[in-house]
Amino acid sequence: MNLLDIVIVNYNSTDHLLRCLKSVEKSLNGLDANIFIQDNASADGVERILARFPQVCLTVNRQNLGFAKAVNKVLAQSSADYAVLLNPDTYLMDDFFSTSLVFMQKHPDVGVMGPRISDSDGRLQNSARAFPTPLTAFFGRSSFLSKQFPKNPITSRNLLSLKSDGKSAMEVDWVSGACMVVRREAIRHAGLLDERFFMYWEDADWCRRMRECGWKVVYNPQASVYHYVGGSSEKNIFRSVIEFHKSVYRLFDKYLNSSLAFLKPMVFGGLTIRLFFVLVSNLFQCTFSRLKQRPELFSDATAISHRKTCGDKVFSDSDSAGKKIKILRIISRLNIGGPAVHVCLLTNGLNPQRFDSKLITGKISPQEGDMSYLFDAYKRKPIIVPYLQREITFRSDLKAFIQIFKILLREKPDIVHTHTAKAGFSSRFAVMIYNILGGHNVSMVHTFHGHVFDGYFSAFNSLIFINIERFLASASNAIIAISRTQKKELAEQYRIAPAHKIRTIELGFDLRPFFFCQREKGKFRKYLGISDDTLLIGIIGRLVPIKNHEMFFKAAASFLEQKPGISVKFIVVGDGERRAELEAVCRDLRLTDDMNFCGWIKHVPCVYADLDILALTSLNEGTPVSIIEAMAASVPVIATDAGGVQDLLGMQDCESHERRIPKGGFAVCERGILCQKNDAAGFAEGLKYLSQEDISEKETRVKLARSFVENRFSHKRLFHDIEALYENLVRGMR
């Protein structure tokens, strides 16, 4: 009689099974064993295995019996001392059987032994676990919370293999049926698998019954296998999800104390809700998986090489056809700021012989400044979707989604390019549905002008938005970062997408009004009633929390205390929801006479013409337009180290050692002064430095800054980069 009965249940995983059997044969190393294959009505040619492994006993069932029933068919008629249950998508290490048998023979009280199970990339699968509790639904092996917070105490108590030292065997509640060695005598005591479990959780139930019969369940990391997760279940992912939840309820019902029967409706309802959300999530992931298979764009380095090869003209297969590439650009609103300027340029500035661009936008909030006037000079006006707006409301967002979907049906674009988080969320989901229902192949591009992952929401809400963006990025064809620092944040800190999928395309502007703004010198000071010898320090931007105007006010108060005799005025250009609140802060700091709230000023070059220092105190930024404009206008800049600011100011050339900014101090960079976020004292010191700096040093830095933005942020360079991206996208999709 053979010592081992090896049982493998197969369902449309024959390719995996062939590799598994090869590893079994090698690991047996001449050891006699019975190999039983129970095939649950596969349609992928399971008979192939007999040509390569004629010694196996193959049974092809007429229907899918499920895992437990198929295993029981073998166990009921076999009699070896040990039964080894294997998934067809496992791969055994060479010493698996010898290590497992020696262990079982040395420990006669062990009924079930589970090995170390690793993913195909070597990561631990946490196959040894505690018996499930209601919290397991939220802190299980593959749950959202466990993935995001892997070291939380609830997950640690549930995933017992995390406590293993990687060498010593340890007793656990249950081990995964993907690979387990079971003593025949223990099976006689505990009985066969419970066939009410079609798939999932039958292993947990079996181990529990083994333990109740006095047998130990042990995790032994000395024996090792690799497991390609989902080799069988992913063939019918929706049935797998349904069966998983059905088995969860069966397990709960089977071991529920009768005195707690009143909990059944609550648990059933909770599992039903969870099932709905998991099914919806898997629907997106499965039906959109083909989007992930699309050829991704070339990397930044490849793009540069391509431009060098092709010169200024970018060629594509579509050139010969003469068909224009249809672009649908979407932004949530045209409020005052860089994104509005950016989309206006791209909508109207691309080569009209190659591109047909249209812009969709929503409504601005009452407190925001409106930049829709940018389109007054152009014939083509934006398409307004009223429900596409800043605020997050289910009803409005759903209506915006429907309206965008209708526009997609009407316009039939080749590429949808979204800007800002809100538009990116609604629009990319609409494109996904449009592609699936209509069999279309519309490419998706999203530009991060900043991000909402830091400084906008609570930690929990930020985590939700991060995971939504990860999903949307996985279905997008290209992600655009507007600075190198932002790309690093997206790829490494927040892991929104792999670095090779994120293109760095810096902003571009028509900076000529700022290069020649000195022609308007004196007009703004005259409007404010400020003399030419008064130091004018200004901050330009929306009056919203992320801009952190309080820091600017505190720094202003500190600066006035240090230099009481200086003639200085501080101005706030911009408006927003916090204006009344910020004016109250100024009154509390006794800055009413020194701080001037100017509101929105449409023609900002005249402001820069008279400004002596531009300040920026933001907590989070993409690439702040006010800094670029100030540099073009030859205005010295002091700013906090937020987002892409350090790229603008030349952080790599800071005089401070190791590129660190001292608390309460500042760093003198190549093109400006850099301070820590939320450090008003350091900002005040930076202002003091700029106010008394040697003229020649200031002029040198200002000239470097002006030259930098002139070369890096021209609108012509932006058009070239975006056109190259679009051409390559269309070429890759045809």
- The residue among 499 and 564 whose pLDDT is bigger is 499
Rounded to the nearest 10 degrees, the angle between the axes of helix 680-691 and helix 549-562 is 50
- Check: CB of residue 609 under 8 Å from CB of residue 577: no
* pLDDT score for 704: 95
Does the domain made of 4-234 have the CATH classification 3.90.550.10?
Answer: yes
Nearest to 673, CA basis, from 644, 701, 699, 643? 701
CA distances from 334 to 82, 342, 382 (A): 70, 10, 10
Residue 674 dihedral angles phi and psi, to the nearest 5°: -115, 135
Contacts of 361 (CB under 8 A, 6+ apart): 330, 331, 332, 333, 334, 343, 372, 382, 383, 384, 385, 388
- Check: CB of residue 70 under 8 Å from CB of residue 82: no
535-540/568-573 β-pairing: parallel
Instruction: Indicate if the pLDDT at residue 699 is higher than 90.
Output: yes
CATH of domain 512-713: 3.40.50.2000
pLDDT tens digits, one per residue of 158-200: 778 878 888 899 999 999 999 999 999 999 999 999 999 988 8
Instruction: Indicate if the pLDDT at residue 674 is higher than 60.
Output: yes
pLDDT tens digits, one per residue of 679-691: 999 999 999 999 9
Instruction: Indicate if the pLDDT at residue 308 is higher than 70.
Output: no
**How large is the average pLDDT for residues 372-380?**
86
- Check: CB of residue 572 under 8 Å from CB of residue 595: yes
pLDDT tens digits, one per residue of 246-289: 888 888 888 888 887 777 777 777 777 767 666 666 666 555 55
The one-character DSSP state at 124 is: B
Instruction: Indicate if the pLDDT at residue 234 is higher than 50.
Output: no
* pLDDT score for 464: 76
**How large is the average pLDDT for residues 126-154?**
66
* pLDDT score for 337: 77
Q: Which residue has the tokens 């250009």?
A: 573
Instruction: Indicate if the pLDDT at residue 532 is higher than 50.
Output: yes
pLDDT tens digits, one per residue of 565-574: 889 999 999 8
Percentage of residues in the chain with pLDDT exceeding 90?
Answer: 53
Give the pLDDT band of residue 81 (cuts 50, 70, 90).
Answer: very high
Contacts of 199 (CB under 8 A, 6+ apart): 66, 67, 68, 233, 240, 243, 244, 247
Nearest to 20, CA basis, from 163, 102, 151, 120? 120
Which of 79-88, 289-298, 364-373, 642-651 tops mean pLDDT? 79-88
Nearest to 692, CA basis, from 550, 525, 559? 559
The one-character DSSP state at 363 is: P
- Check: CB of residue 359 under 8 Å from CB of residue 343: yes
Which of 289-298, 303-312, 477-486, 676-685 tops mean pLDDT? 676-685
Q: In this structure, what token pair is assigned to residue 718?
A: 């932006």
The one-character DSSP state at 546 is: G
Pairwise CA distance, residues 552 & 274, whole Å: 47
Instruction: Indicate if the pLDDT at residue 133 is higher than 80.
Output: no
Sheet holding 568-573, edge to edge: 595-599, 568-573, 535-540, 613-616, 637-640, 673-675, 667-668
Pairwise CA distance, residues 517 & 706, whole Å: 13
Pairwise CA distance, residues 587 & 584, whole Å: 5
Give the pLDDT band of residue 310 (cuts 50, 70, 90).
Answer: very low
Q: In one letter, which amino acid is 275?
A: L
Pairwise CA distance, residues 5 & 31, whole Å: 12
Instruction: Indicate if the pLDDT at residue 460 is higher than 60.
Output: yes
pTM above 0.85, yes or no: no
What is the domain partition of the chain in residue ranges?
4-234, 296-508+718-733, 512-713
Instruction: Indicate if the pLDDT at residue 138 is higher than 60.
Output: no
The helix/strand/coil state of 360 is strand
| Per-chain mean pLDDT for the chain | 85
* pLDDT score for 254: 87
Does the domain made of 296-508+718-733 have the CATH classification 3.40.50.2000?
Answer: yes
Same fold, 4-234 and 296-508+718-733: no
Q: Which residue has the tokens 């900076």?
A: 511
* pLDDT score for 24: 94
* pLDDT score for 652: 59
* pLDDT score for 527: 92
CA atoms within 13 A on the CB side of 150: 9
Instruction: Indicate if the pLDDT at residue 636 is higher than 80.
Output: yes
* pLDDT score for 357: 94
Pairwise CA distance, residues 232 & 248, whole Å: 19
Instruction: Indicate if the pLDDT at residue 635 is higher than 90.
Output: yes
* pLDDT score for 474: 87
Give the pLDDT band of residue 144 (cuts 50, 70, 90).
Answer: low
Contacts of 31 (CB under 8 A, 6+ apart): 3, 4, 97, 98
